[in-house]
Structure 1
Amino acid sequence: MHALGIKEQVEQSLAAVRNHPLITSAEAGTLPLENSKRWIFCAGRESRSFPWILKDLLAWTPDEKVRIILEENLHDELGSGDPAHAHFLHYLHLLDELRVPRAEFDSYQERLGIKLALSLAFNIAKSRNAGRAIGYMLVNEAMTPVTYTAAKSALTGHFPHLRTNFFDLHIEVDDHHVAALYEAVEALPETDREDLEFGIALGRRGMETLLDEAYGVFDAHLEPITITAPEWNPLTGVSEGAETAN
C-alpha cells in the first residue's frame, strides 16, 4: 500500500489536534496550572497503560515486520533492558521535578475523557484488526511532537526553573517509531486501507478526548448519569402518555 495518502490523513489529524484549545492555550502561555497538571495526570495514565496495549497487540499480530516494530516499541517503553529507565518511571520522575506528590497522581479522579481514550486503545489492541491497530498506533505516536512540545511550553511557563529532557527524549523516540510504522503501512494490502484510515480517525478521537478532560470539558457532571422518568425505564416500558401520543 502506498503511504502518501495515509500521511496526508495523519497530517490532517495532527492539524486538528494542534487547534484544540488546550494546545493553543499551552503554546500561548495562557493554560492555567490546574489544567497543565491535569494534562500531565492524564498523560501519565496513558503512559502507564501503553506497555500493556503493546503486549495485547503482540499477542495476535501475524505480520513479522509489524511484530518487530511493536517489539522495539515495547523494548523502548520498558527501558531498553534497564527497568530504571522505563518510560513510566521517567514520567514519575517528572512529577518529582514538578514537586507533585505521587499520592496526588494516584488519587486523581479520572473523568470520561481518559476512560474513553484508554478503553478505545485496549479495544483496538484486542480487535485482531491489523489495519485499525497500525492506523491507531501511527497517529498516536505522531501526536507526540504536537502534545509534548505544547506540554513543555505550558509547564516551563509555570516552572521556569524546570530542567528536564523528558519531552525531547520521547519526541525523538516516537519519531523513530512513526518512521517504522510507515514501513508497516507499505506492507499492508490495499484491502486494509479502509481499516487503516478508520484506525487513524480513532487515534485522533482518543487524543482529543484526553485533551478535553485536561481542559475541563468533563468537570461539570461527575456522578453516574441516571434517568428516573418511568417512560424511559426499559423495565416498565413506555408511559401511558407516550402510548396515547402514538
Structure 2
Amino acid sequence: MDLMVGDTRTLSARALGNEFILQELAQLRDELIQQVFDHPFLVQCRAASMPIDRLKSFLVQQGKYSRYFTRYICQLMSHLEGDEDILAVFENLFEELGFGEVAEPTHSAIYREMLCSFDLNLEAHATLPSTQHLIDTMMNFCKQPNGIYGLSALCQGAEAIVPHLYSDIVTGFSGQGVAAERLRFFTLHIECDDGHADTLLAILSRLVIEKPTRFEIVRHAAVMMIKARLEFLDKL
C-alpha cells in the first residue's frame, strides 16, 4: 500500500513538472510572437498605412529567405534521432512540395507566381545583409548535431510566428488595394502553419520533458531567431 501511495506521489509530481514545462514553452512562444507583433513594420501594416514599395521589399527579401525552407527541413531531419519524429517533420516537407491532401503546386512555385503578379524577380534584387543573417541563423541551427536546436529555431522561432506575421502582411497589402487572391502564398500559410507549429511543438515538448535542461537550448535558439527576424524587419 505504501508503495502505491509513493508511486502516486511520484507520478503526480512528474505530471506537475510536465505541465510546468508545457506552460514555459507556451509562454516563450507567446512572448516571442508579441515581440514580432509589436514591431513598427507590422504595426504600420495593421494600420493599413505601409507604402507599397516597402511591402514589395518584404516580398523580395522574404522570398530569398523562404526559398531555402526545404533545405532547413532536410538539415533538421538529418539530425533527429526518432523515426517517428523524422516522419512528422517530413509531413511538413511533403506539404511544402505540394503533396498534401489536395495536390497543388509547390509552395515555391506559388511564391514565384505571387512575385510575378507584382513584376518582381528575386534575382533582380540584392540580398540584404539582414536577410542573409536570417538565412544563416536558421541554417546554422538546423545543421547542429543536436536536433533540438533546429527544432527550436523552426518551431518557436519561425513556424509559430508565421500566421501572425503573414496576417499583418496581408492586411498591409489590403490597405494598398491589393486583393487577397494575389497573396495566395501568405493566405495558404496562415491556414496551415499553425498545424506545422503544433507538430514541431509536440516533438519539442517531449524532448524537453525527457530532459528539462534542454529548455535553455530552446530559449536560446528561438530568441536568436526572433532577434534575426526583428533585424530583418528593421532593414526593409
- The answer to whether the superposition gives a TM-score over 0.5 is yes
Aligned pairs for 1:1-20 (under 5 A) are: 2-20=21-39
Instruction: Please state which structure has a larger fraction of its residues in helix.
Output: 2
5+ residue gaps, structure 2, are 1-17
Aligned to 1:115: 132
1:66 equivalenced with 2:66 (yes/no): no
Whole-angstrom distance in 2 between the partners of 1:162 and 1:196: 34
C-alpha displacement of 1:162: 5.0
> Given the alignment, which residue of 185, 193, 198 partners 2:215?
193
Aligned pairs for 1:1-246 (under 5 A) are: 2-80=21-99, 85-97=105-117, 99-102=118-121, 105-139=122-156, 140-164=158-182, 165-188=184-207, 189-214=211-236
Name the CA shift for 1:64/1:160 in 2 (closer, same or farther; >3 Å).
same
How much identity, in percent, do the aligned residues show? 21
Question: Which whole-Å deviations, capped at 9, do the CAs of 1:25-50 have from their partners, x for residues lacking one?
Answer: 11111111111111111111122011
Q: Is the 8 A contact 1:3 1:185 kept in 2?
A: no
Name the CA shift for 1:69/1:206 in 2 (closer, same or farther; >3 Å).
farther
**Alignment partner of 1:117: what SS?**
helix
- Aligned residue pairs, count: 211
The alignment's TM-score, normalised by the length of structure 1, stands at 0.79
Structure with greater Cα Rg: 1
Q: Is the 8 A contact 1:138 1:178 kept in 2?
A: yes
Q: CA RMSD, aligned part only?
A: 1.9
**Alignment partner of 1:128: what SS?**
coil
Q: Is the 8 A contact 2:89 2:199 kept in 1?
A: no
**Alignment partner of 1:70: what SS?**
helix
5+ residue gaps, structure 1, are 215-246
Structure 2 letter corresponding to 1:94:
M
Whole-angstrom distance in 2 between the partners of 1:63 and 1:210: 33
